[in-house]
């Protein structure tokens, strides 16, 4: 994976500082995959990346600082938003995409680290909440399109529906501490679809969306 | 709260060791409420409890060790399982109970600490997964009763339903990093009820329950 990144990043912009940062983030990702968040220390990342520990302390200060930087990278990766013309199928594909993301040990370790860092550091908490809000906002198009097609009641809160699709997968990882399987994704998509049809996620006109951001309805 | 515990524990068994442990756990809970998991250190718990730091290091070793012990206490508290005769109402009451639990800053800080500790310590992870599994097993009676009454399809997985009720609340706390409100609980209960009626949580006879424990169906 590191090979792929380096090959595709042959004209990596920014010179030495950018190269240092890339080496450190690559090493942090590798450490997470090998040892999980429990094994992530600035010392080990310094050793693995060949970057001086003093540089790491100066630039990232703590493991949480490193995680915030990794999060920025995650935020930039594009996740395809399904648009099959059927809400049930779109939700199913979305749920399976999330499940398969976290079936990768590297991604699961990263997200466990992010959640632990968010609890300890307000900066990490804000960075994480921002990434998730942006992801959910993009995926909420699925719901908006279903409302436009007349599949869902007007006023259905897209963020609430998309959050409900992701929630059981995070619950499995962080609370039940079990494996994320495709069956969980499929069952969640069927359930959330039924709930949305039933109007469980509609809100009165003028009410703010489920994540507390200002309403866009007039 | 500390007063209540001491009053009811007037004949606290175990003498000095038990009193030391109770003082340490009380102090840890108070620290969590005041400073969150980020502020929880053995040094501060020692200072607050008046117990020697060396004793804390010897008995609990790390903050994660302390969290495991707190978890054991949570596991012992009884949570009422609603039995109103209506599945929808039972799920609504259960969701509101969970939401109101985590509307308490002390409980939210504790659970954030537990999740962070579970990521760093396999012991904490096992202790936490055990508490949650036991809670979910008790609450799954709600679903079993609804199946017996003919409200739900046979083969509905109680653990899966109960997990789906809790999941959005944990997601709000740990992922979206927002406030847990009653509206989230109500909307989740309506949605999970619709999903269960639709058969989203049924599993083929003989399949293990959603958390991977052995099946009790013949």
Rounded Cα distance between B160 and B140, Å, is 9
Most confident of A32-46, A192-206, B27-41, B143-157: B143-157
CATH class of A78-197: mainly alpha
Whether residues B194 and A191 touch (CB distance < 8 A) is answered with yes
Q: Is B173 on the interface with A (CB under 8 A)?
A: no
Tell me what pLDDT residue A206 has.
59
Q: Delimit the CATH 1.10.357.10 region(s) of chain B.
A: 76-197
Looking at domain B2-61, its CATH superfamily turns out to be Homeodomain-like (1.10.10.60)
In which region does residue B125 sit, left (phi positive, over 0), alpha (psi from -120 to 50) or beta (all else)? alpha
Each as own residue / partner, the long-range contacts of residues A78-82 (CB below 8 Å, 24 or more positions apart, any chain) are A79/A135, A79/A138, A79/A139, A81/A138, A81/A139, A81/A141, A81/A142, A82/A142
Min Cα distance A55 → chain B (Å) is 25
Contact A28, A73 (CB under 8 A): no
Q: Which of B29, B6, B30 shows the shortest CA–CA distance to B18?
A: B6
Distance from CA of A1 to the nearest CA of B (A): 24
Flag if B192 and A197 touch (Cβ within 8 Å).
no
- Among A168, A188, A200, the residue with its CB nearest the CB of B187 is A200
pLDDT of residue B211: 59
State the pLDDT at residue B141.
Answer: 97
Distances (CA, A) of B107 to A216, B98, B111, B140: 33, 11, 6, 23
**How close, in Å, is residue B65 to chain A by CA atoms?**
14
Mean pLDDT of chain A: 87
The minimal CB distance from B191 to the residues A175, A177, A192 is found for A192
Instruction: Return the biggest CA–CA distance within chain A.
Output: 59
Nearest beta carbon to residue A195 from set B38, B115, B191 = B191
Question: How far apart are alpha carbons A170 and A107 in whole angstroms?
Answer: 12
Give the three-state DSSP class for B202.
strand
**CB proximity A58 to B under 8 Å:** no
Helix axes B158-174, B182-197, angle to 10 degrees: 150
Q: Give ranges for CATH 1.10.357.10 in chain A.
A: 78-197
Optimal mutation site among B105, B134, B176, B193, interface A, most CBs of chain A within 10 A: B176
Q: How do the pLDDT tens digits run along chain B, 218 residues long?
A: 344 444 444 445 568 888 999 999 999 999 988 888 888 899 999 999 999 999 999 999 988 899 888 887 777 767 789 999 999 999 999 999 999 999 988 888 888 889 888 988 888 999 999 999 999 999 999 999 999 999 999 999 999 999 999 999 999 999 999 999 999 999 999 999 999 999 999 986 656 656 544 444 33
What share of chain A has pLDDT > 70, as a percent? Answer: 86
Query: pLDDT tens digits, residue range A92-105?
Result: 999 999 999 999 88
Out of B113, B118, B172, name the one closest to residue A177 (CB).
Answer: B118
Give the pLDDT band (50/70/90) at residue A205.
low
Choose which CATH entry (3.30.428.10, 3.40.50.920, 1.10.357.10, 1.10.150.120) describes domain B76-197.
1.10.357.10
Write the burial class of residue B168 (CB in 10 Å: 0-12 exposed, 13-18 middle, 19+ buried): buried
Q: Residue A174's closest chain B neighbor by CA?
A: B115
What is the C-alpha separation between A173 and A102, in angstroms, rounded? Answer: 9
Q: For A148-190, how does the pLDDT look when each residue is reduced to its tens digit (9 = 90+)?
A: 999 999 999 999 999 999 999 999 999 999 999 999 999 999 9
Mutation for testing the B interface, residue in A132, A177, A180, A193 having most B CBs under 10 Å? A177
Residues of B whose CB is below 8 A from A158: none
The confidence score (pLDDT) of residue B37 equals 83
Instruction: Return the residue in B67, B152, B187 with the most chain A beta carbons within 10 A, the one to mutate for interface testing.
Output: B187
- Report chain A residues whose CB lies below 8 A from the CB of B175: 115, 128, 132, 166-167, 170
Answer whether B128 touches A (CB < 8 Å): yes
Compute the average pLDDT of residues A114-123.
88
Residue B218: the pLDDT is: 35
* Minimal CA separation from B21 to chain A, in Å: 25
* pLDDT of the residue at A55: 95
Judged by a CB distance cut-off of 8 A, whether residue A200 touches chain B is: yes
Which ranges in chain B are annotated with CATH 1.10.10.60? Answer: 2-61
């Amino acid at each position: 994976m590191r090979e792929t990144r380096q090959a595709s990043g042959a004209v990596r912009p920014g010179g030495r500082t950018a190269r240092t940062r890339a080496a450190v983030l690559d090493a942090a990702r590798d450490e997470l995959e090998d040892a999980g968040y429990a094994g992530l220390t600035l010392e080990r990342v310094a050793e693995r990346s060949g970057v001086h520990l003093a540089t790491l302390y100066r630039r990232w200060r703590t493991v949480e600082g490193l995680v915030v930087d990794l999060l920025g990278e995650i935020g930039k990766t594009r996740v395809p938003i399904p648009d099959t013309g059927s809400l049930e199928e779109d939700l199913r594909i979305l749920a399976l995409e999330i499940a398969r993301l976290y079936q990768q040990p590297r991604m699961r370790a990263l997200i466990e680290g992010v959640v632990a860092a968010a609890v300890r550091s307000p900066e990490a908490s804000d960075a994480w909440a921002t990434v998730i809000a942006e992801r959910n906002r993009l995926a909420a198009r699925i719901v908006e399109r279903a409302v436009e097609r007349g599949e869902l009641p007007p006023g259905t809160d897209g963020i609430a529906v998309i959050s409900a699709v992701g929630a059981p997968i995070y619950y499995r990882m962080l609370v039940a501490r079990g494996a994320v399987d495709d069956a969980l994704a499929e069952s969640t998509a069927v359930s959330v679809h039924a709930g949305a049809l039933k109007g469980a996620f509609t809100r009165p006109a003028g009410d703010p969306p489920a994540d507390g951001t200002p309403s866009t309805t007039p």
